[in-house]
Structure 1
């Protein structure tokens, strides 16, 4: 096995030999539910917060991990995640009007503008029909159009009958979770891939049949060329901060292996380029067998690129 993005290096400060890779991103976290202080030593250079207080997130300084965020969940009255113990009112924004005009109270454009003006790099909409009401088609269309007008992608939590299809129809760019509630048809999978949709993995939040369905859906999506992003939904249950070996192993089981696994980890979405000046360092040489890759990757740490000297 040869990894295109890996190169042998030596750390200038410690003389430790190892392998350098691009900086890794966890594309789905909730920072208000976790202690982010150990991300760097556990291999994560950047995170995407997909549901938090936009005011608080806007006040975060630069550092590791580099944070990009969606701000609040856009939902409808009574919709997910309202009423959850982990979801304070500040992380929820109710949309009550499909208006595309700015400044309309409860309007779709107003909600998108509020997150964008607070520094959001992406907009998140809740299509969790198993947990309450969801935006109707005109409202969802208006949210996507408003995000486009501000130059932002839209990510959706799509769960419940027909919600993945609605996300595709509306032009949602990314699914916050690999669908796990039912097997997806070949037609739906083909439509998602043709639309250029990306899926964030979050496989390790599931157990039992839901895990099996998620892995099967992701395997079918990836096999058709679908874009996969590594993400954990960190803050949801007992998940390790930093690189999650179980998530990496589940991705491997879903057929996201070798260079594709590295791509899922290092994709800078929603940014256009990786976090400047940072690399992933893993002691020792890269493994020669794909089955060993996930465990090896889980040993990564974040270092300054200037600290690494290439040794060919």
Structure 2
């Protein structure tokens, strides 16, 4: 029902959370006087900038992206550019020798770093036998990586053993970097969760995860990047159903969900992906939780670290009344300077 003090005939709309503010566009700019909703800048937390053209992301409502696998020298140049989007990145995919995505036709040159295995116990207090992991992590950090990306895909080749995964985690945390893992295949999500990795870069989809494992991931403060739409692009598939079920249970357990699309992986919308948003809603996430997933500052702790104080995501028109219409509405978003918007009293 509309609130008691609403004007006669007022329509009920979705509550988008505390950061949503009715606004109109300045009379001096484009689309003068257009009304809508101002939200914090949207972030796509999983993209591959070498595999698509990013210059139109801002026109589609995305102000910033996290690249999760690229040649570090190339993606560092993307991050240094003035045009939007703002970029944080992981650098190379770290994988076991011969592991995924080695040999893939889509893999950009220089985007893969194979790390040899280590023994479980270091030879001395410094842990000198972890040098292979330390070297790989340091290479990414020197290029400016904010996060370290590890691949555990048992369906397509060898993966790190627990000792080597732990070595990468130790090296990354010693340098203040979170570790994000691609976990695919039987037991890979469990390996990543048991190791204490910070983020899964895809909602697990190859297995229906046991409730105790999902709860353990949520309790540990792990975050999952959604990427639900890559499983069928809106079509009903078994993988899509498993991913939606896993994400639903993770969110109900209090898990932190990040919006991410894996943009560059096949044909996906440049900007807010309405199907991804709809899939999040279909997994039981409320409108404020979806907005939180879109605006979460990861891999930073604070939004100010992105240096986007002068930007906002603006969505024209009134918010929808129904959750299943949220994706279509948010797909109309665009990134604007805050100075081009005027607040409207609620």
Match 1:261 to one of 290, 311, 326: 290
Tell me which residue corresponds to 1:98: 118
Match 1:6 to one of 9, 20, 24: 20
| Residue pair 1:94, 1:106 contacting (<8 A) in 2 also | no
Match 2:266 to one of 216, 226, 237: 237
| Residue pair 1:38, 1:241 contacting (<8 A) in 2 also | yes
Answer yes or no: is 1:301 the counterpart of 2:334: yes
Q: CA deviation at 1:296?
A: 0.9
Answer yes or no: is 1:134 the counterpart of 2:159: yes
Answer yes or no: is 1:65 the counterpart of 2:94: no
Distance 2:251 2:240 in 1: 16
Answer yes or no: is 1:79 the counterpart of 2:99: yes
Question: Which structure is larger by alpha-carbon Rg, 1 or 2?
Answer: 2
Q: CA deviation at 1:24?
A: 0.4
Q: CA deviation at 1:241?
A: 1.1
Answer yes or no: is 1:54 the counterpart of 2:72: yes
Q: Residues 166 and 183 (structure 1 numbering): CA distance in 2 closer, same or farther, change over 3 Å?
A: same
Tell me which residue corresponds to 1:311: 344
| Deviations 1:195-228, CA, capped at 9 Å, x for gaps | 1110000011113100111111111111111110
Q: CA deviation at 1:137?
A: 0.9
| Deviations 1:151-201, CA, capped at 9 Å, x for gaps | 010000011111111111211000010000110111101110011110000
Answer yes or no: is 1:121 the counterpart of 2:146: yes
| Residue pair 1:95, 1:106 contacting (<8 A) in 2 also | no
| Residue pair 1:75, 1:134 contacting (<8 A) in 2 also | yes
Q: CA deviation at 1:97?
A: 4.1
Q: CA deviation at 1:257?
A: 2.1
Answer yes or no: is 1:281 the counterpart of 2:314: yes
Q: CA deviation at 1:102?
A: 9.6
- Higher alpha-carbon deviation: 275-284 or 153-162: 275-284
Answer yes or no: is 1:227 the counterpart of 2:256: yes
Tell me which residue corresponds to 2:182: 157
Q: CA deviation at 1:311?
A: 1.2
Distance 2:301 2:108 in 1: 31
RMSD between aligned residues? 1.7
Q: Residues 169 and 135 (structure 1 numbering): CA distance in 2 closer, same or farther, change over 3 Å?
A: same
Answer yes or no: is 1:191 the counterpart of 2:204: no
**TM-score w.r.t. structure 2 length?**
0.87
Q: Residues 166 and 105 (structure 1 numbering): CA distance in 2 closer, same or farther, change over 3 Å?
A: closer
Tell me which residue corresponds to 1:29: 47
Which consecutive unaligned segments of at least 5 residues does structure 2 have?
A: 1-13
Answer yes or no: is 1:291 the counterpart of 2:324: yes
| Residue pair 2:118, 2:129 contacting (<8 A) in 1 also | no
Q: CA deviation at 1:15?
A: 2.0
Tell me which residue corresponds to 2:5: none
Q: Residues 273 and 63 (structure 1 numbering): CA distance in 2 closer, same or farther, change over 3 Å?
A: farther
